[in-house]
Structure 1
Amino acid sequence: MTEQTDQQALLQPMPTDWTRALAVVAHPDDLEYGCAAAIADWTDGGREVVYLLATRGEAGIDSIAPDACGPLREAEQRASAAVVGVSEVEFLDYRDGVVEYGLDLRRDIAAAIRRHRPELLITLNHRDTWGGAQGGGFWNTPDHKAVGRATLDAAGDAGNRWIFTELLSEQGLEPWNGVRWVAVAGSNTPTHAADAGPGLERSVKSLLEHKAYIEVLTDQDPEEYVRTFLTGNVRQAAVRFGGRPAVPFEVFPADRIPLV
């Protein structure tokens, strides 16, 4: 199969034989731009999804100082999550814009994995660019890269009792080897997709909850901006998913997640 043909290969349906997922991203709105339509459909089906955010997005609005912006964006994130059936939203309180990949971040995410015991772990594009599997496109932010990469690594850390031993000795968090897949939204090289149709309208409403952020991001009518962006993305993925609007993911199964 040629490289070009491989890039146009059909996307496989996302796994559905799971009950709990943990979504780990850097900022408020990351999931709403990335995969809320899929999450809405999953929670409708009775699955549990928890959100874990590294920051409160306090550096994201130039006209609002961080001490005021953080609580505002946290409130918007909680309201946004509720629209798609997510009631539990946690924040790690790393500083927005300067999140660094490292042991502290890996440990904090591994702790959350042990607490929530997900079978599906969701994160956002951890690579250098958005768009274009062979490079090009737009440069990704340091926070996205750090959190995405740390999430992939923490999937293995969570199952290894000899890494971050303090999680057991001090917090009583037993190792969790139950992560069966890590799904990366916004990947340049997706392998799977979830049907976006059932949850698309709620994904629009969910992103619209980030009102303060969207108002400074664009001069467009907020609903027009959000609907155009989200429907454009899912229609683009439909080409590789039998013509159905889709949320694409790059999926790493458990046998590709090393424990050491």
Structure 2
Amino acid sequence: MTEPTITPLEPMPGDWQRALAVVAHPDDLEYGCSAAIAAWTDEGREVAYLLATRGEAGIDTLAPAECAVLREREQRAGAAVVGVERVEFLDHKDGVVEYGIALRRDIAAAIRRHRPELVITLNHRDTWGGVAWNTPDHVAVGRATLDAAADAGNRWIFPELAERGLEPWNGVRWVAVAGSGTPTHAVDATPGLERAVRSLLEHRTYIETLTDEDPETYARTFLTESAEATGERFGGRPAVAFELFGR
């Protein structure tokens, strides 16, 4: 019996300057792809974060109003560790984000405002690799982001945005999906892995509700094991994987 063929992951494109990462919750990027983001900001690229919610429903022992303030603070701190200064929140409701026109419009507006060549989001499919069920918020935001990348460039979709001074931006060249079960590309995680660990650790309050393990051990183990597993398809180098959709 022959061994299954492992398809190598291609390097991510490098001919871009601005990226916008769009996810549902604080910590989504820290669990997913902050090592890649750290490497990109080191190279002088501009990366901004857009979060659909403030993660206010994420900690059972904290009321949403209190939790939102805490998780926003942790997210801004985590972003700063990997060189991201611009972090915006849309204030959709955590846990009940709805895919639809309102979400697409909000994301399209942000794309027009930031004018990225690369848009990043998180797994928009029903499962994580067919093993675990995904959350409705991830599915809604990921799918809306893929659609909004096109919406942002069409003058006749959401014409009210142009009335607000947000002219169409048809410059998105790729949408990269982190956490996909069918990745196509990867980024060497080595330069940014240590900062990725520290970035995830900025969500300490949230992590402490998830596990009794030491937070640093938890964060380092999770990110290192993920990067090493991806590296098996990327020349043996620890890596962050993406499913890349060109436009």
Class of the TM-score when normalised by the shorter of the 2 chains:
over 0.9
Q: Within 5 Å, give how 1:35-184 maps onto structure 2.
A: 35-131=33-129, 136-169=130-163, 171-184=164-177
Partner of residue 206, structure 2? 213
**Which AA in structure 1 matches 2:81?**
V
**Which AA in structure 2 matches 1:142?**
P
**Which AA in structure 2 matches 1:236?**
A
Partner of residue 27, structure 2? 29
Q: Within 5 Å, give how 1:226-245 maps onto structure 2.
A: 226-245=219-238
**Which AA in structure 1 matches 2:59?**
I
**Which AA in structure 2 matches 1:110?**
A
Give secondary structure in 1 for the equivalent of 2:62. Answer: coil
In structure 1, the gaps of 5 or more residues are 255-260
What is the TM-score normalised by the length of structure 1? 0.93
Counterparts of 1:221 and 1:38, CA distance in 2:
24
**Which AA in structure 1 matches 2:145?**
T
Task: Give yes or no for contact 1:7–1:189 (8 Å, CA) kept in 2.
Answer: no
Counterparts of 2:12 and 2:98, CA distance in 1:
30
Partner of residue 197, structure 2? 204
Report the RMSD for the aligned CA atoms in angstroms. 1.2
User: What stretches of structure 1 move > 3 A for 4+ residues in a row?
Assistant: 4-7
Give secondary structure in 1 for the equivalent of 2:13. Answer: coil
Partner of residue 11, structure 2? 13
Identity %: 76
**Which AA in structure 1 matches 2:60?**
D
**Which AA in structure 2 matches 1:26?**
A
Counterparts of 2:18 and 2:219, CA distance in 1:
28
The 1:14–1:28 alpha-carbon spacing in structure 2 relative to 1, beyond 3 Å, is same
The 1:5–1:78 alpha-carbon spacing in structure 2 relative to 1, beyond 3 Å, is farther
**Which AA in structure 1 matches 2:84?**
V
Counterparts of 1:225 and 1:92, CA distance in 2:
29
Counterparts of 1:11 and 1:52, CA distance in 2:
27
What is the TM-score normalised by the length of structure 2? 0.98
Q: Shift of the alpha carbon at 1:194?
A: 0.4
Give secondary structure in 2 for the equivalent of 1:199. Answer: helix
Partner of residue 181, structure 2? 188
Give secondary structure in 1 for the equivalent of 2:48. Answer: strand
Q: Shift of the alpha carbon at 1:6?
A: 9.0
Q: Shift of the alpha carbon at 1:8?
A: 2.4
Counterparts of 2:3 and 2:147, CA distance in 1:
30
Q: Shift of the alpha carbon at 1:7?
A: 7.4
Give secondary structure in 1 for the equivalent of 2:26. Answer: coil
**Which AA in structure 2 matches 1:241?**
F
